[in-house]
Structure 1
Amino acid sequence: MVNVCATNAISRVMFGRRVVGHGSNGGGDEKAEEFKGMVVELMVLAGVFNLGDFIPPLEGLDLQGVASKMKKLHKRFDAFLSAILDEHKINGSSEMQGNVDLLSTLISFKDGNDSGGKLTDTEIKALLLNLFAAGTDTTSSTVEWAIAELIRHPKILAQAQKELDSVVGKDRLVTESDLTQLSFLQAVIKETFRLHPSTPLSLPRISDKSCEVNGYFIPKGSTLLVNVWAIARDPDAWSDPLEFKPERFLMGGEKPNVDVRGNDFEVIPFGAGRRICAGMSLGLRMVQLLTATLIHAFDFELANGQLPETLNMEEAYGLTLQRDEPLSVHPKPRLAPHLYNEA
């Protein structure tokens, strides 16, 4: 459900409408599950140990079938995005009349503009794929980790809900303008990014020249991976690095002024420098607003009588940090009943 929400939030920015629905409106869940499966498969294949990457003569043999799987996945993504692009050319956006969405702007570049730039359908689809892959699964998985940590730490959850009730109340939902007043919630999100960065090894880089880093010689052309996950759990930089302690980011805590926007290298879930995540501001707001809305609107009970202290927090393998077991909870409303009516 969180993934459906993240996907639709991104799609409304890009297309001016939702691209997946919920089960109540006619099978939208299957489309959402299919799309999520494609994104997860992409992240797994992109992060897999591939012999050809390390032994160049073997690359063309594709011994593990990675290239073959990528080509099949590419065709599925191409069909998905081609359908969206063709429909948008005919119908435009359907939910944001009067507003120009990203795809409409990109389509206008196909015929050139004042600056002389032109885009092909292939380039447009490639950009859309980047935005979808980078902005959907990463957002939903981070929110999932945040909810899981809060369920495991009921006192922290109660403190976050108390702050929300104080700032927002129980007669309306959280809005984006509330976020700046929710200091404890922001600390919870920072601590989630620290312990569970969406891309634990950042993205691969290639050194364009030979250099030396901390006494290590890095040859030109080397593939470099920054272990964001390990940096944020370094006991030399953090006290009790494996503990979920949002208060470390509050005034009086050990790192009250540390942020996640790439300026403090102890915690860089979005990367840093010129290659920092282009969608950082949107991604951060989405994670904050989604998490705040969920814990403000609901109390959570684990499925099948599971106890919070026994909740599985194992991580799955892949380019993005997924839970080994998806979080399954029973939400219980805690706000005024009329707030849960569908718009």
Structure 2
Amino acid sequence: MEILLCFLMVSLLTLVSSIFLKKFKNSKFNLPPSPSSLPIIGNLHHLSGLPHRCFHNLSLRYGPVMLLRLGFVPVVVISSSEAAEAVLKTHDLECCSRPKTVGTGKLSYGFKDISFSPYGAYWREMRKIAVIELLSLKKVQSFRYIREEEVDYVVKKVTESALTQSPVDLSKTFFSLTAASIICRVALGQNFHVDGFVIDQERIEELVTEAAVALGTFTFSDFFPGGVGRFLDWFLRRNKKINRAFKELDAFYQHVIDDHLKPEGRKNKDIVSLLLDMIDKEDADSFKPSMDNLKAIVMDVFLAGIDTSSITMIWAMTELVRNPRVLKKAQENIRTTLGAKRERINEDDLGKVEYLNLIIKETFRLHPPLPFIVPRETMSHIKINGYDIPPKTQIQVNVWTIGRDPKRWTDPEDFIPERFANSSVDFRGQHFELLPFGSGRRMCPAMPMGAATVELGLMNLLYFFDWGLPDGMKIGDIDMEEYGTLSIVKKVPLQLVPLRRYGCGVQKV
């Protein structure tokens, strides 16, 4: 019976595929160039390896505006700053919807991620909550004491390793800083360092990794219509691991919410407390998020906030160790600017060290934590670089490729922070050659939080410590292999030996 069902499904897919191909071939539109495709799967056979590198290699042949067919989903891949500006600025309104296929098979266990909802009244209200109530600059600044305390704690732990000259796994250190510490306290009001934390750090790391892989992993329901894709996912058990990871996260969020519903549960004004206060408001005219909305927002903050900041700091430290000239210049610049024998560095020092800001920009250019802006979908016909883009076409902006465009960057593969000196190019969404947080209506609202965390963390570790490689290891031995789908991490953890700088006081935590 199962074999018969599979045969019928394949036959149906073949029929729909032929209709789909005929529709596009007979189109009067001037469509973007496209590689050859196969029946049913379209161009999926071209995606062998990391998606951003596959799209990059295809764009070298077919250009910065390229049309692919992934199953039955038309996808236009954008690989130049000019085309990105057309999508994210000129046609921002027409391109600000989210593809319905994205995430629907992955978040079917109870609630849907708001970031994938089509643009409309609901999305506008939820974004207003995120930008104005939860992640405004004023609100981000109110959480500075959390970031400062947690960075102090990291300095203390690294100092303990420096006393014994033992290597520090900076990949775990940065993950712990952003996930188990800052994000858990800011978003959930949960302090990882106290007894009774509902989930241990190791499991948090596993869950975040599983969730990121799940969101970026191919499922048939993403690329094939309706019940056909869902059946194939069920038959091949593609959703089993995905649903297990998200169900555990859902249980974690529910535990946090239940804690906040207790009389003493809202003493700290974390994001969950703020959302519950909004739900409790009696103002009939105000928009009230539901419990599912609350979980969706928390999931967005939790997953997006953890990965991006920690990944950026890991790649920054990796590039600094691979480039001793830059590392030495950075440390001298920080220590000269802030002065000697500082006992503590806090957020009052942010923005003072210009060279560190150049390093962060260069890290975002070479190693954007998300190689693609979260997909958009056209709501009407538009033109990009002279090509027609029909409605209901998915748009993928390859930020990774744009950061390596030789037409925009001299020696694009090299880590050269000085390229940003005397340059107005920044990562806040106004310059389309540097888009780690996206741009336009769908720009990441957590940029102020992420940028502050990255700068404060790097400034402390570069001021208070010198860094060396483990015994027997040379610069050429540092493995730069990437891993991931939705976010791109350093596959081999970065381990360095900290050397406490003479004259720097020990952090008091």
TM-score above 0.5, yes or no: yes
- Report the Cα distance in structure 1 between the residues aligned to 2:197 and 2:321, rounded to whole angstroms: 28
Cα displacement (A) at 1:219? 2.3
2:208 maps to which of 27, 39, 53: 39
- Alignment partner, residue 243 of structure 2: 71
Q: Which protein shows a greater Rg? A: 2
- Report the Cα distance in structure 2 between the residues aligned to 1:226 and 1:159, rounded to whole angstroms: 34
- Report the Cα distance in structure 2 between the residues aligned to 1:335 and 1:93, rounded to whole angstroms: 43
Residues 98-118 of structure 1, C-alpha deviation per residue, up to 9 Å, x if partnerless?
Answer: xx3322221122223434333
1:84 has 2:256 as partner: yes
Shifted more, 259-268 versus 309-318: the winner is 309-318
Cα displacement (A) at 1:324? 1.3
1:159 counterpart SS class: helix
Letter in 2 for 1:161: Q
1:50 maps to which of 219, 226, 236: 219
For residues 67 and 273 of structure 1, do their structure 2 counterparts lie closer, same or farther at Cα, with a shift above 3 Å needed?
Answer: same
Cα displacement (A) at 1:144? 0.4
For residues 281 and 299 of structure 1, do their structure 2 counterparts lie closer, same or farther at Cα, with a shift above 3 Å needed?
Answer: same
Shifted more, 202-211 versus 118-127: the winner is 118-127
Residues 233-267 of structure 1, C-alpha deviation per residue, up to 9 Å, x if partnerless?
Answer: 0000000000000001112xxxx111011111111
Contact 2:399 2:436 in 1 (8 A): yes
Which segments of 5 or more consecutive residues in structure 1 lack a partner in the other structure? none
- Alignment partner, residue 339 of structure 1: 506
1:131 has 2:301 as partner: yes
Shifted more, 318-327 versus 49-58: the winner is 49-58
1:311 has 2:484 as partner: no
1:267 counterpart SS class: coil
Cα displacement (A) at 1:306? 1.7
1:14 counterpart SS class: helix
Greater relative contact order: 1 or 2 (C-alpha under 8 angstroms, separation 6 or more)? 2
For residues 105 and 275 of structure 1, do their structure 2 counterparts lie closer, same or farther at Cα, with a shift above 3 Å needed?
Answer: same
**Count of equivalent residues:** 330
Letter in 2 for 1:225: Q
| Identical-pair percentage | 35
Contact 1:143 1:291 in 2 (8 A): yes
For residues 301 and 64 of structure 1, do their structure 2 counterparts lie closer, same or farther at Cα, with a shift above 3 Å needed?
Answer: farther
Cα displacement (A) at 1:125? 1.6
Cα displacement (A) at 1:320? 0.6
Give me the CA root mean square deviation: 2.2
For residues 296 and 151 of structure 1, do their structure 2 counterparts lie closer, same or farther at Cα, with a shift above 3 Å needed?
Answer: same
Q: Within 5 Å, which residues of 2 pair with 1:181-192? A: 181-192=352-363
1:217 has 2:388 as partner: yes
- Report the Cα distance in structure 1 between the residues aligned to 2:355 and 2:349, rounded to whole angstroms: 12
- Alignment partner, residue 297 of structure 1: 464
2:485 counterpart SS class: coil
Letter in 2 for 1:92: G
2:286 maps to which of 93, 116, 131: 116
Cα displacement (A) at 1:225? 0.8
Contact 1:197 1:228 in 2 (8 A): yes
1:231 has 2:398 as partner: no
Letter in 2 for 1:236: K
Contact 1:45 1:66 in 2 (8 A): no
Shifted more, 49-58 versus 130-139: the winner is 49-58
For residues 156 and 206 of structure 1, do their structure 2 counterparts lie closer, same or farther at Cα, with a shift above 3 Å needed?
Answer: same
Cα displacement (A) at 1:29? 12
1:101 maps to which of 263, 266, 270: 270
For residues 27 and 308 of structure 1, do their structure 2 counterparts lie closer, same or farther at Cα, with a shift above 3 Å needed?
Answer: farther
1:6 has 2:178 as partner: yes
1:320 has 2:320 as partner: no
For residues 84 and 296 of structure 1, do their structure 2 counterparts lie closer, same or farther at Cα, with a shift above 3 Å needed?
Answer: same
Cα displacement (A) at 1:28? 7.5
- Report the Cα distance in structure 1 between the residues aligned to 2:201 and 2:461, rounded to whole angstroms: 20
2:200 counterpart SS class: helix
- Alignment partner, residue 441 of structure 2: 274
TM-score (ref. length: structure 2): 0.61
1:147 maps to which of 317, 321, 331: 317
- Report the Cα distance in structure 2 between the residues aligned to 1:27 and 1:235, rounded to whole angstroms: 52
For residues 28 and 108 of structure 1, do their structure 2 counterparts lie closer, same or farther at Cα, with a shift above 3 Å needed?
Answer: closer
- Report the Cα distance in structure 1 between the residues aligned to 2:497 and 2:202, rounded to whole angstroms: 20
Which segments of 5 or more consecutive residues in structure 2 lack a partner in the other structure? 1-172
1:229 counterpart SS class: helix
Letter in 1 for 2:248: R
Contact 2:343 2:504 in 1 (8 A): no
- Report the Cα distance in structure 1 between the residues aligned to 2:454 and 2:466, rounded to whole angstroms: 18
Contact 1:14 1:102 in 2 (8 A): yes
- Report the Cα distance in structure 2 between the residues aligned to 1:317 and 1:109, rounded to whole angstroms: 36
1:265 maps to which of 390, 411, 432: 432
- Report the Cα distance in structure 2 between the residues aligned to 1:64 and 1:196, rounded to whole angstroms: 34
1:262 counterpart SS class: coil
Cα displacement (A) at 1:210? 2.5
1:339 counterpart SS class: coil
